[in-house]
A and B are shown apart, each in its own frame.
Chain A
């Protein structure tokens, strides 16, 4: 992978939602970086480089979203809690992301559960992993996929898993 020299073009946009939550979005068109599920947000940098995309950061009261748009067109969003850890990741686009990269230490658990599903499922269907400490949903078809993974225990208070998209 070729690493481009960062071009620091940063813009900041603020707007208020009707519900009164202030969001701050920062667009950074550099070779982006990223953090895997369960890891500190500082590791966000590694993924951004890996995916050679653009990074956008959005802040809500409950969490920060680091969004990377990869060169393949797939968007990955990492949800970081106030404690600084990635509690969820979501993806959508033409191709699935590098699952080992975005799931980090949860990848083996993901792979085993997904493999078990392929054997027991009795037909092709969306992926649904529901374990006490790890949840994954993924669906779509060739050239269009979407999914998310999260750690239930790390969801910030009041955050609904369905917000993770």
Chain B
């Protein structure tokens, strides 16, 4: 980490003229005596049987901001009937492969519950849910293959959506509402739900349903039957992933990077001195900022920006047009500290530019390193801008790595 000024408090952000001057000179000189610009640097691995190319671009909807997309090959189990689907969002914030039924042209194998009914999943995301059958398929990504993997085929029409699922909020069962042809969840968990969904009774959060023709009913779903993080099922390179994206120094239409499978399993995926941040049971760590700590903080390549605090607590107004984002009058260069439950900590520098200006001045750009917006006060949601210029390791729960057992992040 390069030394830099840490602004201790932005209660009145427009009272700091130095920030504006600093921001103007930042790309050239850096600030606060730093000799380097505020841009991370990394090297992106591009060759190896465990390396999958990814691209940050506007995605299949043509309007996605800061989304890392890749392609995935799925096959009917133990057959050569396969399809390669592109426009799949790489998401370290979830686990499991989900594909829109409308993007899938081959038939996979429907999973049945113990009483013979088709299994269908309602997966709650922050603002809504995806609904659709759990089907088994072989998954091939670059040189890695996992067989008979339970995945979710997202479809609002294959099975009627029960009210207990639709009561979760908005449906994200189409290209326009999901924002991608599918989601490749390569997060810290081996399954999407985990032990809770394998139980019966009130402790079961109700993600999995058995669906006889009479209607869908919540069931207990064993760990092995749940939608799986496919990485955990690879024969090798199965303890986690590295997301490697170059720095995005200016807004641009697209950038290319790599999704590398395995941590310390090949010559191209070593930790190389990255700091390991262990996570708590919910998959969170702590971010400290302005002398406050936020213990429900997380890294999430599937979030489009760095979402933190609220306008009044950050002292940064939200935008007039792009109301999901912050619009400071001049770019704010900020520093936070991330802390793992293993006691490790490190400074994170990040910038908050005026999102309305960014969008209006860069109409064909979909890569923005300085995009940030308000969140809840529970934690920092370190979205894709965090990943630019960093190789970020996501280790899977229970898997051993040279940096210790997952779950952890390292960077």
Contact = CB atoms under 8 A, between A and B. Distances in A.
A72 B127 contact: no
Contacts of A117: 127, 170
Interface string A98-138: 11110000010011001101110111111110100000011
Nearest to A160: B312
B296 A165 contact: no
A118 B187 CA distance: 22
A92 B126 CA distance: 12
A98 B124 CA distance: 11
A111 B376 contact: no
B305 interface: yes
Nearest to B185: A142
Contacts of B284: 144
A53 B140 CA distance: 43
B169 A92 contact: no
A147 interface: yes
B160 to A, nearest CB: 17
Contact of A162 (B178, B192, B307, B377): B377
Interface stretch (B99-107, B194-202, B264-272, B344-352): B194-202
B65 interface: yes
A110 B170 CA distance: 9
B167 A99 contact: yes
Nearest to B180: A124
B303 interface: yes
A71 to B, nearest CB: 4
A123 B373 contact: no
Interface residues of A, number: 47
A10 interface: no
Contacts of A144: 282-284, 296, 298
B289 interface: no
A76 interface: no
A1 B375 CA distance: 34
A119 B376 contact: no
Interface residues of B, number: 66
A78 to B, nearest CB: 17
Contact of A123 (B64, B128, B312): B64
A84 interface: no
- Among B95, B282, B312, which residue has the most Cβ atoms of chain A within 10 A? B282
Given A99-B169, A117-B127, A125 B176 contact: no
Contacts, number: 175
A139 B168 contact: no
Interface string B86-120: 00010001110000000000000000000000000
B92 to A, nearest CB: 9
Contacts of B313: 162
Given A118-B170, A142-B185, A162-B377, A125 B202 contact: no
Contacts of A119: 176-177
B375 A126 contact: yes
Contact of A98 (B66, B123, B167, B185): B167
Contact of A147 (B61, B93, B376): B376
Nearest to B205: A95
Given A128-B324, A142-B189, A165 B378 contact: yes
A154 interface: no
Nearest to A148: B376
B291 interface: no
A152 to B, nearest CB: 14
B30 to A, nearest CB: 29
B373 A141 contact: no
B300 interface: yes
B221 interface: no
B36 to A, nearest CB: 30
Contacts of B373: 125-126
B179 A121 contact: yes
A137 B127 CA distance: 10
20 contacts: A2-B201, A71-B203, A94-B205, A111-B169, A114-B170, A115-B170, A115-B177, A117-B170, A122-B179, A123-B67, A124-B303, A126-B375, A127-B126, A128-B323, A128-B324, A137-B374, A139-B376, A141-B187, A146-B379, A165-B376
Interface of B: 61, 63-67, 89, 93-95, 123-128, 163-164, 166-172, 176-179, 185, 187, 189, 192-194, 196, 201-205, 282-284, 296, 298, 300, 302-305, 307, 310, 312-313, 323-324, 373-379, 381, 383
3 closest cross-chain pairs (CB), A and B: A123-B304, A71-B202, A146-B378
Given A2-B201, A114-B169, 6 more contacts: A72-B204, A122-B65, A124-B126, A138-B127, A140-B296, A140-B298
